[in-house]
Chain A
Amino acid sequence: MSAADPALAADATAATIAAAVAARRVTASAVVEAALARIAEAQPVLNAFTAVTAERARARAMAIDAGAVSGPLAGVPFAVKNLFDIAGLPTLAGSRIEAESPPAAVDAPLVERLEAAGAVLVGALGMGEYAYDFTGRNAHHGATRNPHDPARMSGGSSGGSGVAVAGGLVPLALGSDTNGSIRVPSSLCGTFGLKPTFGRLTRRGSFPFVAAFDHLGPFARSAADLARAYDAMQGPDAEDAGCAGRPVEPALPVVGRDVSGLRIALLGGHFAEQAGDGARAAAAAAAAALGATRTIELPEAARARAAAYVITAAEGGALHLDRLRRRADDFDPETRDRLAAGTLIPAAWTIRAQRFREVFRRQVAAAMADVDVLIAPATPCTAPLIDQQTMELAGRTVPVRANLGVLTQPISFIGLPVVAAPIAGPGLPIAVQLIGRPWEEATVLAVAAALERAGVAAAPVADAWRTRLGT
């Protein structure tokens, strides 16, 4: 194999790979072997993967090279958070308990849809236990580590997804986002991530957490790659009650469009108060590049975050109640006690929080009547150290685990589409949220692409982890 072809390099985008494979400049098999080699090399340092599906990937790549499969993602290696069903593997959801579950009989629909578009699944990625996590720590499988500095958190709960993409192991990964679990690791690892509108992508074949808030979506190193993957995954699914059944609305054809006519505003209030200097600077840089001079507030954002917390704890706790009764010692202690507390929340609190959700939805819809896109930091800070338990936020010392999502939680609470876009700069990465109205994923993807063209957003492959090899 020639190492010279850019499609074989760690920084190859999905677009580059698919073009090279379609033109038969490289084989899908060569692309997959290169990805498998990078994964094996990085695993001792980054711990991104919990399973590598090498034989399956090689067989799929050979089928592509034989002309049996083609598509807009031909030959593009991808990996998925281990809460997605992968035929033949137990769906771990970051837990020890689920390792005893029978293997999944079939792939999750989103895996099927990406493979139908020519992508090649290469493995399952580490995550925080049962997705109740913003750090990437995991007592069973070890923490997923930040490729910019392996002493630091990946963010979570889709930690392995952020690590695998930012570290140049694969150009594309899938994760889930209930309260920020795509956007937080995108920010801490420096990748682009898309949390689509609630109900856009089917969640069938994934381990649930909070049915009212669970979203699935892609990670990539460019907005166009996000759009390419997102387009391949769209479509109705009557078997997911949360899937709205929208027709396919392709984003890739419009991702490069001019966005100068859009009305864009910076979010103040909660989103400035709960952000550190670096996070505020990132949001300001994005706003300046987009010509956004307005700042607006969502006065109930902190209450929205509180309501999301209560519903999450109660629904998550109830989901796991029987396991908490029977298998408490087999949980990660960091999730177990939070889930146990969640089971004890009075129904009146959660019902009130659910009713407030509709109020907040209406308020934000009114605020966005004359604004197309809102900008806010994705995390309050850059990646904390792996074992860090507390951090300073708005002049108070607060727990890291519960607060890394303080800026993402109010937005997923009402299901708005968000692209996390990493802001270029020296030092550790941090991302902004580009928040759109419901069903306007194509708009926020186009804004992210505009930030890339302006040189303001970028997701270069992190290779600092390589200095830890062999140590």
Chain B
Amino acid sequence: MSEAIDRSDVAAHMERAARLLRLPIPAERREAVLDHLMLAAQLAAIVEAFPLTDRDEAAAVFRP
């Protein structure tokens, strides 16, 4: 990971994205949800650090 993830950035995203999704997160659950989202952000940053090329496509199972 090149940059530390700012918990306040993740918290701000959580508030806005939850509102957009109409997902209520009561005050007493915010810290727990934020902990999980922080972990996801840290793991996503590990994935992000891998140099994919434009031609690396996801494997799909959809068969028309």
Contacts and interface: CB of A to CB of B under 8 A. Distances in A.
A294 interface: no
A415 to B, nearest CB: 9
Given A306-B44, A313-B40, A242 B61 contact: yes
A340 B56 contact: no
Given A306-B47, A310-B44, A340-B29, A356 B52 contact: yes
A349 B47 contact: yes
Contact of A357 (B21, B29, B44, B59): B59
Q: Is the interface of A mostly helix, strand, loop or mixed?
A: helix
A352 B49 CA distance: 10
Interface in A348-370: 349, 351-359, 361
Contact of B33 (A314, A337, A352, A402): A337
A211 B18 CA distance: 24
A196 to B, nearest CB: 15
Given A310-B47, A355-B56, A359-B56, A324 B23 contact: yes
Interface residues of A, number: 41
Nearest to B13: A344
B57 interface: yes
A172 B36 CA distance: 35
Contacts of A307: 43, 47
A351 B58 contact: yes
A368 B17 CA distance: 42
B24 A337 contact: no
Contacts of A354: 58-59
A341 B44 contact: no
B36 A313 contact: yes
B29 A325 contact: no
B40 A337 contact: no
A359 B52 contact: yes
Given A309-B40, A341-B36, A352 B47 contact: yes
Interface in B15-61: 17-18, 21-25, 29, 32-37, 39-40, 43-44, 46-50, 52, 56-59, 61
A306 B46 CA distance: 7
A324 B24 CA distance: 8
Interface string A302-341: 1100110110011000000100110010000100111011
B39 A402 contact: yes
A353 B46 CA distance: 10
A357 to B, nearest CB: 6
Contact of A352 (B14, B23, B52): B52
A354 to B, nearest CB: 4
B56 A353 contact: no
B57 A343 contact: no
22 contacts: A241-B63, A306-B43, A313-B36, A321-B21, A324-B23, A325-B24, A333-B32, A336-B29, A337-B32, A340-B25, A340-B33, A341-B35, A341-B40, A342-B36, A343-B18, A343-B23, A344-B14, A345-B40, A352-B47, A355-B52, A356-B50, A359-B52
Interface of B: 13-14, 17-18, 21-25, 29, 32-37, 39-40, 43-44, 46-50, 52, 56-59, 61-63
Q: Which 8 A-B pairs have the closest CB atoms?
A: A341-B36, A354-B58, A306-B43, A349-B44, A341-B37, A337-B32, A306-B46, A344-B17
